[in-house]
């Protein structure tokens, strides 16, 4: 299995999902996970984790270079500014030749920045090194997570002929908008070529499946959606100061997450109800614009912009929030909604999110339907009955979810192609 | 002798429009006029008018041997008058045959018997006035919303002094199905009690079109045969069901109308059998025994209780807020407010909030809303506006 983000360094749902899935999957298959950067302290029962940042690479690299090269993915030299899937805006990136000296490889990945301005170097090197490592190993299926690992996965398939399964946690068309397909966009091209080469595709929702079909023109037979899950975790509630209600927005402040629709919803709600504050946890390229909008609307004082929060801080605010609000324009899954649900927070979600497919007891509206969002949030803040029913019913749903179920579903997908 | 007592329930709620919090304080009109108009017309065309015509034809054909009873909610009558007055005309024609009994109920098809005895009495009187006005009838048989029944309900109804008969469910927790086929004495009161034979009733109302049912297809002859097995073992077989079963819940294509057309003939084939209205039934037989029902039963769901209406947090919350307004409405002394208050009590509003059968397709088709949560939010928003409105006048 080829992954990119992995605990303890996470920037979004990708690493969390990879972790949960590989842990559960190790009960069904013999799993080797190759990631750019592993912590020696982190081990997972039954999973062999290889991190390029600390492996004795000299031995691993002693093999013949395979005949297929990375060139197929390097037709495009420049990539769009929004290439970066997770925080930290970078502008233009030139794809370099992969580095192959072991020490350089280690240095390349020994950083807390999983993406960064040299992301394409990292991706290209990863493809080279992974192929060399994997050619020396026995395996039946190649399983790769998101575009950063697709070049490696495709290269490995071309070198070995083994079945290729690509997991889709998010797409460039989610991250930058559907116009990605009309522009010169290296990430889009990588995703498209990867999906075309793949034998099976595992999107994290039916929503993402339809995005991949609509925007990447991939035939339906390849898709086997498998939902993300959440494992039980103890939660708690904190008494908050004052009686003001808290609506929580958690995530990157990017186009994809619909911050402008949050502002519009807040504006509408605040016309009729003022005992509320919007807590925004996260950063991103739309943060300043969001602040400007709120200021212009005269609702800035009803917002708290907390910036990027680490996990304990996130849990602290989850323990106080009254409503979880996710108006994403295009959300492949939205794992954070399940985390919020564990904290007994009722959710208001956009229909354009994968998690809406598994949360029957959330309130849902189209991402642009801010009237409906405002109406839902008003109800959750004012009427006791609906809160209690949603919480109780969601609890049952969450209890029935497990990464083990997702792993079983993934295992079934493997069985269709080996 | 054994008789069949057929009673059909006619009810159409006045559904609420998508009332949002933006409207609270500004918009005091809560009804989805267009939707109510559409549904009433659809059901009138598929059920009320054609089936009324069919019953009239059957009554004439059987020359007084075929009889039925109707209970029609006030909110349904109101909508007939407003949108399809010919339905009222066709019911009058049925009444004129002398073979049709009209029953009494709450005007608003409400749960008031459980939550407010005073409101209950008011609504029953309002319904009596309407029945008197439209059909010139003073009913002597009472049937409560969803057949809600208990000793306490019987006592309230008896105390009103108009009635000698009341209907209830032959609930399995109360009595064996075939043992229910007699006239009973309703608790300590002097009312007669008739219990629904749920098995035979539901064979028609629910199982009829079910192709996986072992007895599919149900023919009039087969049904008559089942009825005839009770010859000598039963006084009255009470078949109570929604009138909309015929043509609406079960479309004409299922053959349900043909079944209805031919069933009486098949039953009357055995001359020990006859059809009687509830009022005639209680005169024809002596009460077998007194039946005590300490806690409420209804004709709904497997549990035969009120849980479809007052089970979850939303329903409890809504009912609390609703009946919490009773004193305010009374204080306002406004007839208009009393009417709005009554409409908000229609049981369907609460039923739409039920999460009991989240994935049950049947319930979803009855609800005009996307989910029980939407139903609740709309209702609570409307109720909040009404509360403000009433308070603003005091």
Tokens of B34: 């267009």
Nearest to A385 among B21, B24, B313 (CB): B313
**A114 and A194: one domain?**
yes
Partner B contacted by A378 (CB < 8 A): yes
For A105, the domain range is: 13-229+404-417
CATH number, domain containing residue A83: 3.40.50.2000
What's residue A141's pLDDT?
A: 96
Contact state of B22 with A379 under an 8 Å Cβ cutoff: no
Q: Are A140 and A72 in contact (CB under 8 A)?
A: no
Neighbours of B356 (CB within 10 A): 17
Asked if A379 and B358 come within 8 Å (Cβ–Cβ), the reply is no
The C-alpha of A407 sits at a distance from chain B's nearest C-alpha, in angstroms, of 26
From B22, B373, B384, residue closest to A390, measured CB to CB: B373
Residue B297 belongs to some domain of the structure? no
Q: Considering only CB atoms, which chain A residues are within 8 Å of B349?
A: none
In a domain, B227, yes or no: yes
Cβ–Cβ contact B116 with A under 8 A: no
pLDDT at A117: 80
The residue out of B260, B291, B322 marking a domain boundary is: B291
Nearest to B373 among A272, A386, A392 (CB): A386
Residue B271 sits in the same domain as residue B311: no
One domain, residues A221 and A171: yes
Helix (H, G, I), strand (E, B) or coil at B298: coil
Residue B301 lies in a domain: no
Best mutation target, B370, B377, B388, to test chain A (most A CBs within 10 A): B377
Contacts with A384 from chain B: Cβ below 8 Å: 313, 317
Q: Where do the H-state alpha helices sit in A47-100?
A: 57-60
Test the B interface: residue of A267, A383, A390 with most B CBs within 10 Å: A383
Question: Is A375 a member of any domain?
Answer: yes
> CB contact, 8 Å: A390 with chain B?
yes
- Verify whether residue B146 is a known catalytic residue: yes
Nearest to B314 among A272, A374, A385 (CB): A385
Is residue A252 a part of any domain in this protein?
yes
Q: Is residue A360 a contact partner of residue A285, using CB atoms and an 8 Å limit? A: no
Which of B313, B316, B349, B353 would best serve as a mutation to test chain A binding (most A beta carbons within 10 A)? B313
Question: Which whole number is the average pLDDT over B11-40?
Answer: 97
Q: Rounded to the nearest 10 degrees, what angle do helices A335-342 and A384-400 cross at?
A: 110
| Interface-testing mutation among A361, A365, A389, A390, with chain B (most B C-beta atoms within 10 A) | A389
> What pLDDT score was predicted for residue A37?
86
Residue B129 has a pLDDT of 98
Q: Give B374 to chain A, closest Cα distance, Å.
A: 8
Q: Which two tokens stand for residue B40?
A: 């009433």
Put simply, the answer to whether B355 touches A273 (Cβ < 8 Å) is no
Nearest CB to B22: which of A272, A376, A383? A272
For B352, the domain range is: 307-393
Residue B299, domain member (yes or no): no
Q: Is residue A287 part of a domain?
A: yes
Q: A295 CB near a chain B CB, below 8 Å?
A: no
pLDDT at A101: 78
Q: Using the beta-carbon criterion (under 8 Å), do A374 and B21 form an inter-chain contact?
A: yes
B233 and B314: one domain? no
Distance CA B67, CA B366 (A): 29
- Do residue B155 and residue B275 come from a single domain? yes
Q: What parts of chain A have a pLDDT lower than 50?
A: 58-95
Secondary element (H or E) of residue A350 = strand A347-350
Distance between B354 CA and the closest CA of chain A, angstroms:
10
Q: B194 — phi, psi (to 5°)?
A: -110, 130
Contact criterion met (CB < 8 Å) for B314 and A386 = yes
Whether the pLDDT of residue B52 is over 70: the answer is yes
Does the distance separating the beta carbons of B22 and A375 come in below 8 Å?
yes
Buried b / exposed e over A190-209, threshold 16 CB at 10 Å, is: bbbbbbebbbbbbbbbebbb
Position A61 scores a pLDDT of 43
A345 and A225 in one domain? Answer: no
Q: Is A162 on the interface with B (CB under 8 A)?
A: no
Instruction: Please tell me if residue B312 touches chain A, with a CB cutoff of 8 Å.
Output: yes
Both A310 and A207 in a single domain? no
Report the candidate in A168, A255, A246 with the shortest Cα–Cα distance to residue A203.
A168
A208 and A269 part of one domain: no
Among candidate residues B275, B293, B68, B121, the one with its CA nearest the CA of residue B193? B293
Percent of chain B clearing pLDDT 90 (strictly above): 93
Contact B168, B194 (CB under 8 A): yes
**Among candidates A340, A305, A303, which has minimal Cα distance to A324?**
A340
Give me the helix-helix angle, B151-160 and B117-135, nearest 10°. Answer: 50
Above 80 in pLDDT, residue B364?
A: no
B334 and B360 part of one domain? yes
Contacts of A378 in chain B (CB under 8 A): 21
Q: Which residues of B touch A386 (CB under 8 A)?
A: 313-314, 317, 373, 376-377, 380
Beta bridge partners of A246: A277
Closest chain A residue to B314, measured at CA: A385
* Residue in B20, B314, B317 closest to A375 by CB: B20
Residue A4 lies in a domain: no
The pLDDT score that the predictor gives to residue B333 is: 96
> Chain B interface, mutation test: which of A274, A376, A379, most B Cβ atoms within 10 Å?
A379
What residue in A sits closest to B23 (Cα-Cα)?
A: A272
Q: How far is CA B124 from the centre of its chain?
A: 14
> Do B348 and B247 fall within a single domain?
no
Which tokens sit at B154?
Answer: 């019987």
A386 part of a folded domain: yes
Same-domain status, A209 and A129: yes
Residue of A nearest to B312 (CA): A389
Q: Which residues is B291 bridged to in the sheet?
A: B186
Token output for A96: 């370099």
Q: Within this chain, do residues A256 and A165 fall inside the same structural domain, yes or no?
A: no
| A336 and A379, same domain (yes or no) | yes
pLDDT tens-digit profile of B62-73? 999 999 999 999
Which residues fall within 8 angstroms of residue A11, CB to CB, at 6 or more apart?
A5, A86, A87, A114, A115
Residues A80 and A136 both lie in one domain: yes
Report how many domains make up chain A. Answer: 2
Give the SS3 label for residue A94. Answer: strand
Confirm whether A2 is domain-assigned: no
Task: Tell whether B365 is covered by a domain.
Answer: yes
Q: Are residues B9 and B148 in the same domain?
A: yes
Which residues have CB under 8 Å from A397's CB, separation 6+? Answer: A341, A358, A359, A360, A361
**How many domains does the structure of chain B reveal?**
2
A399 — contact with chain B (CB < 8 Å)? no
Chains A & B: contacts with CB separation below 8 Å: 63
ipTM, 2 decimals? 0.91
Report yes or no on B74 lying in a domain.
yes
pLDDT at B97: 97
Residue B125 resides in a domain:
yes
Cis bond before residue B217 (omega within 30° of 0): yes
Element (H, E) at A389: helix A384-400
What is the least distance, in Å, from the CA of A385 to any CA of chain B? Answer: 4
B209 close to B245: Cβ distance less than 8 angstroms: no
Q: Looking at CA atoms only, how far is residue A359 from chain B in angstroms?
A: 13
Closest-CA residue in chain A for B375?
Answer: A386
Give residue A89's pLDDT. Answer: 31
Residues B286 and B330 grouped into a single domain: no
> Is B214 domain-assigned?
yes
Segment among A39-43, B14-18, B41-45, B342-346 with least mean pLDDT: A39-43
Q: For chain B, say whether A379 makes contact (Cβ under 8 Å).
A: yes
B318 with B282, same domain? no
Rounded to a whole number of angstroms, the distance between the first and last alpha carbons of chain A is: 15
| Distance from the B358 Cα atom to the nearest Cα atom in chain A, whole angstroms | 9
Q: Is A379 close to B21, i.e. CB distance below 8 A?
A: yes
Give the count of beta carbons closer than 10 Å to the beta carbon of residue B201.
Answer: 21
Q: Pick the catalytic residue from B105, B119, B146, B296.
A: B146
CATH of the domain at B270: 3.20.110.20
DSSP E strands in chain B: the ranges are: 2-10, 68-72, 100-102, 141-142, 165-169, 183-186, 192-196, 236-242, 246-247, 250-251, 273-275, 290-291
Interface residue A243 vs chain B (CB under 8 A): no
The reply to whether A388 and A409 lie within a common domain is: no
DSSP state string for A219-239: -GGGB---------------P
Residues sharing a CB contact under 8 Å with residue B234, sequence separation 6 or more, in sequence order: B2, B178, B181, B182
- The answer to whether residue B233 neighbours chain A at the CB level (below 8 Å) is no
Residues 314-343 on B with a CB inside 8 Å of A are: 314-318
Mean pLDDT over residues B338-359, rounded? 92
What average pLDDT does the structure give for chain B?
95
φ/ψ of A47, rounded to 5, equals -115, 125
Picking from B239, B256, B291, the residue at the C-terminal end of a domain is B291
Whether residue A193 sits in one domain with residue A256: no
Q: Is B20 on the interface with A (CB under 8 A)?
A: yes
Q: For A272, which residue in chain B has the nearest alpha carbon?
A: B22
Specify if A377 maps to a domain: yes
What are B176-221's pLDDT values in tens digits?
Answer: 877 999 999 999 999 999 999 999 999 999 999 999 999 999 999 9
Task: State CA B45 to chain mean position distance.
Answer: 20
- Domain-embedded: residue A101: yes
Residues A311 and A178 reside in one and the same domain:
no
For residue A366, list chain B residues with Cβ-Cβ distance below 8 A: none
Q: Are B178 and B311 in a shared domain?
A: no
């Amino acid at each position: 299995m080829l992954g990119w983000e992995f605990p303890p360094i996470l920037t979004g749902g990708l690493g969390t999902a990879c972790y949960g899935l590989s842990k559960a999957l190790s009960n069904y298959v013999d799993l080797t996970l190759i990631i750019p950067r592993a912590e020696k302290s982190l081990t997972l029962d039954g999973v062999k984790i290889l991190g390029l940042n600390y492996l004795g690479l000299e031995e691993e690299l002693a093999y013949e270079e395979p005949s297929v090269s990375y060139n197929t993915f390097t037709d495009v030299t420049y990539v769009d500014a929004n290439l970066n899937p997770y925080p930290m805006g970078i502008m233009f990136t030139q794809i370099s030749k992969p580095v192959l000296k072991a020490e350089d490889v280690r240095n390349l990945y020994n950083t807390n920045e999983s993406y960064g301005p040299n992301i394409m170097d990292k991706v290209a090197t990863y493809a080279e090194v992974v192929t060399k490592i994997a050619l020396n190993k026995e395996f039946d299926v190649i399983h790769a997570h998101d575009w950063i690992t697709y070049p490696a996965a495709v290269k490995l398939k071309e070198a070995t002929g083994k079945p290729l399964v690509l997991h889709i946690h998010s797409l460039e068309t989610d991250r930058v908008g559907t116009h990605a397909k009309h522009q010169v966009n290296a990430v889009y091209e990588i995703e498209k070529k990867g999906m075309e080469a793949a034998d099976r595709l595992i999107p994290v929702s039916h929503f993402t499946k339809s995005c991949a079909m609509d925007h990447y023109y991939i035939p339906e037979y390849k898709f086997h959606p498998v939902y993300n899950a959440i494992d039980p975790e103890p939660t708690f509630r904190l008494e908050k100061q004052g009686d003001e209600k808290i609506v929580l927005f958690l995530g990157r402040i990017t186009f994809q997450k619909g911050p402008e629709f949050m502002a519009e919803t807040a504006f509408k709600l605040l016309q009729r109800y003022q005992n509320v504050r919007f807590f925004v946890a996260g950063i991103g390229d739309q943060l300043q614009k969001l602040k400007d909008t709120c200021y212009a609307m005269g609702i800035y004082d009803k917002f708290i912009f907390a910036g990027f929060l680490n996990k304990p801080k996130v849990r602290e605010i989850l323990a106080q929030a009254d409503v979880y609000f996710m108006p994403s324009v295009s959300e492949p899954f939205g794992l954070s909604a399940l985390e919020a649900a564990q904290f007994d927070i009722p959710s208001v979600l956009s229909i354009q999110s994968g998690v809406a497919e598994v949360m029957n007891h959330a309130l849902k509206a189209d991402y642009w339907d801010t009237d409906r969002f405002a109406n839902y949030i008003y109800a959750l803040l004012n009427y006791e009955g609906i809160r209690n029913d949603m919480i109780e019913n969601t609890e049952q749903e969450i209890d029935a979810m497990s990464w083990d179920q997702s792993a079983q579903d993934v295992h079934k997908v493997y069985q269709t192609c080996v | 002798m054994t008789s069949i007592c057929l009673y059909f329930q006619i009810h159409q709620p006045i559904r609420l429009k998508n009332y949002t919090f933006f409207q609270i304080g500004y918009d005091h009109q809560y009804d989805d006029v267009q939707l109510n108009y559409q549904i009433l017309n659809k059901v009138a065309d598929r059920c009320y008018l054609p089936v009324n015509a069919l019953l009239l034809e059957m009554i004439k054909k059987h020359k007084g041997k075929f009889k039925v009873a109707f209970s029609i909610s006030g909110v349904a009558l109101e909508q007939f008058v407003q949108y399809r007055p010919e339905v009222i005309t066709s019911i009058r024609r049925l009444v004129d045959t002398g073979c049709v009994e009209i029953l009494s109920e709450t005007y608003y098809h409400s749960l008031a018997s459980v939550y407010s005895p005073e409101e209950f009495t008011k609504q029953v009187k309002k319904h009596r006035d309407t029945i008197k006005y439209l059909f010139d009838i003073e009913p002597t048989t009472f049937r409560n919303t969803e057949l809600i029944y208990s000793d306490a309900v019987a006592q309230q109804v008896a105390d009103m002094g108009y009635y000698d008969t009341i209907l209830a469910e032959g609930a399995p927790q109360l009595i064996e199905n075939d043992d229910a086929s007699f006239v009973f004495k309703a608790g300590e009161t002097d009312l007669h009690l008739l219990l629904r034979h749920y098995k035979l009733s539901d064979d028609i109302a629910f199982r009829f079109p079910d192709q996986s049912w072992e007895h599919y297809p149900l023919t009039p002859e087969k049904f008559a045969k089942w009825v005839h097995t009770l010859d000598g073992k039963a006084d009255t077989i009470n078949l109570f069901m929604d009138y909309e079963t015929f043509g609406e819940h079960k479309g004409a294509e299922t053959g349900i109308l043909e079944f209805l057309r031919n069933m009486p003939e098949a039953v009357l084939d055995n001359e020990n059998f006859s059809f009687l209205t509830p009022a005639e039934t209680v005169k024809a037989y002596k009460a077998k025994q007194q039946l005590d029902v300490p806690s409420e039963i209804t004709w709904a769901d497997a549990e035969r209780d009120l849980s479809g209406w007052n089970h979850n947090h939303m329903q409890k919350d809504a009912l609390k807020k609703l009946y919490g307004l009773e004193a305010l409405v009374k204080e306002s002394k406004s007839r208009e407010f009393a009417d709005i208050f009554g409409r908000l009590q229609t049981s369907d509003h609460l039923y739409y909030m039920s999460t009991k059968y989240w994935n049950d397709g049947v319930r979803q088709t009855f609800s005009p809303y996307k989910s029980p949560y939407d139903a609740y939010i709309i209702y609570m928003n409307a109720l909040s506006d009404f509360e403000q409105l009433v308070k603003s006048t005091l």
